[in-house]
Amino acid sequence: MKIIVHIDLNAFFVQCEILSDPSLRGKPVAVGYSGSRGVISTSSYEARAKGVTSGMPVSQAKRACPELILVPDHFALYRQYSNRFFTYLKNRYPILEKASIDECYIDMTNNIEPGKEEEYLFDLQMSLYKATGLKCSIGCGANKFLAKMGSDYKKPLGLTIINKDNIEKILWPLPIEKMFGIGKQTAPKLKELGIETIGDLALTQDPKVKRALGNLFPYYQGEANGYGNDVVDTSLFVPKSISAERTFSSDATSYEELKDMVRSCCEDIVSELVKYQKEALTVSVKLRTPDFVTKSKRALLPQPTDNLGELYSAAMSLFDRTYKDQPIRLLGIGVEKVQNKGEKKKTEASLPEEPLWKEEKK
């Protein structure tokens, strides 16, 4: 049986800001844009205790916590600390999979003596903090799902080991929406069918639940019972999709302004495609009106591309089909089906009209 570990830096952006400005330590701090349409990217645990959460409009966050200290994002700083984090770990553990800028999976089967996981991982947690100044939560299990659920279980500075002896005590009582992989749309549907907890999913044989999850039912039920993928992929982290969006400080009504923003978003996306030597096969457009109605469309490109002109042309074609001369609060462009540059075009059996747009969590 493998020993898989998931390490997740706690409130990473805020941690970086505090390391840059220690006077922020112990205070309700959030990273976000201060404009009237700004949203919270991430917040300190002091701010979270006052009700400030990721994705919350800044205006709402300030009402919940009037003393909130809002700082703008500094992504160069975050990349610097992220590099320190991964350099420290990669020098010690060769089987490491980068999951995002602030989290990773590590196969520690050959590093930890079975039964000594807690002592070993606590020492790692402390040594990582001393070396980088970054606090993390760590989860450990026989597969990546259990490790991920363990790191989410306690924050900040949590350390949770989930195994066959404690899975019913730790994992099963958790609300179904806390299960990694169960999205915001799926969780309410499961609750309507009586699946309130992960344990309910682990034990159910209800045909209605099976129909709701379709061919993914065995996969999710297997994870709820402690099974899952234990392969840590050491290949270079690359995005499977890329998106860029703009929230306007005041509702945009000018076609030319919106057209410029489409191009700006496409430029950001092409920069990422070139960085990772990738090409995109689909493009999507998202428009949100002042009353928060969101419309989106997606289209298959004639061929995979990282060319700005081709992407912009396709995005504008979609934009013109979606835009109805109404005021726009938010505009977004996204690409999916990202593949290696020069790779033969993948066959698409069908392409749904609505894109699988991913909202940022952190």
210 in Cβ contact with 188 (< 8 Å): no
Residue type, 288: R
pLDDT of 349 > 50? The answer is: no
Across the range 324-342, mean pLDDT stands at 90
Within 13 Å, how many C-alpha atoms sit on residue 207's CB side? 0
pLDDT in tens, 191-239: 999 999 999 999 999 999 999 999 999 999 999 999 999 999 987 666 7
Architecture of the domain delimited by 167-224: Orthogonal Bundle (1.10)
Per-residue model confidence (pLDDT) at position 352? 42
pLDDT in tens, 160-176: 999 999 999 999 999 99
Architecture of the domain delimited by 242-340: 2-Layer Sandwich (3.30)
**CA distance linking residue 91 with residue 86, whole number of Å:** 8
Across the range 37-46, mean pLDDT stands at 86
Q: Which residues contact 355 (CB under 8 A, 6 or more apart)?
A: 282, 284, 286, 296, 297, 298, 334, 336
Hey, what long-range contacts does 120-127 have (CB within 8 A, 24 or more apart)?
121/5, 121/159, 121/161, 122/159, 125/157, 125/159
Domain with CATH 1.10.150.20 in the chain: 167-224
Active-site annotation holder among 46, 103, 223, 272: 103
246 in Cβ contact with 263 (< 8 Å): no
Domain with CATH 3.30.1490.100 in the chain: 242-340
Residue type, 100: S
Q: Where does the pLDDT of residue 20 fall: very low under 50, low under 70, confident under 90, or very high at 90 and above?
A: very high
103 is catalytic: yes
42 in Cβ contact with 14 (< 8 Å): yes
| Percentage of residues of the chain with pLDDT beyond 90 | 71
Per-residue model confidence (pLDDT) at position 147? 98
How are the residues of the chain apportioned to helix, strand and coil, as percentages rounded to the nearest 5?
40, 25, 40
